[in-house]
A = this chain, B = another copy of it.
């Protein structure tokens, strides 16, 4: 029998299981019935139960181990998922008008801290790009980025006056590994000027390092305008 209105689907099972946890019927740390028994209860196959429980475990509600069974997590290791949109999308999602402006773009010798951070050989050239992202005429983000030509040779011919380095990289280097950090930093004179805030102001800051198959591609610092907050619900 195919799934239809009167069939129990894996989504129904997820909802039911969650409500039993909420209601306290299935206490934290307690063991759930095994898949076969649940399949009988829900009048479906074990495959369907399996998918429901697998997804719930993936979402951090349950812990599953062979032979040991499925357990309600006592301190749900809820994982917050932050979608990391491109700046343009973020501004437009707020109903704003995105505008990009290049500040400077030049090839230079990698500063020592960058060489250390990206494991570059000393004295290696990097493309240093600084730019601004606006919401209308309001500063939204100041970006300070270095791109490694040894990994992305095309960068020497790239023109960042019209397209931001991030969008350019995504088009050019389709797939990468990323390390992303967020922290609070202090606006120095440069940043304060670009973001139009007093010097010394706290600035929400992102740092992003990107590799392509083990080769360092880019290091970027993103300084967000005053009042920015990164939010998620779960």
Contact = CB atoms under 8 A, between A and B. Distances in A.
Nearest to A226: B184
Contacts of A27: 174
A202 interface: yes
A180 interface: yes
Give the number of copies in the complex. 2
B185 A184 contact: yes
Nearest to A178: B234
Contacts of A170: 28, 74-76
Interface stretch (A81-89, A133-141, A148-156): A81-89
A181 interface: yes
B84 A178 contact: no
A77 B85 contact: yes
A106 interface: no
Contacts of A179: 231-233
A186 B202 contact: yes
A85 B181 CA distance: 16
Interface string A115-151: 0000000000000000000000000000000000000
A204 to B, nearest CB: 4
Interface size class of A (residues with CB under 8 A): 35 or more
Contacts of A230: 181-183
Contacts of A11: none
Interface in A160-215: 167, 170-171, 174-175, 177-186, 200-205, 207, 213
B81 A79 contact: yes
A229 interface: yes
24 contacts: A21-B174, A22-B174, A24-B174, A28-B170, A74-B174, A75-B167, A76-B174, A76-B175, A79-B81, A79-B82, A80-B180, A82-B82, A178-B233, A179-B231, A179-B233, A180-B234, A181-B230, A182-B204, A183-B227, A183-B230, A184-B185, A184-B202, A184-B203, A184-B228
10 closest A-B pairs by CB: A202-B202, A184-B184, A183-B229, A184-B202, A184-B204, A22-B175, A181-B231, A181-B229, A179-B233, A182-B230
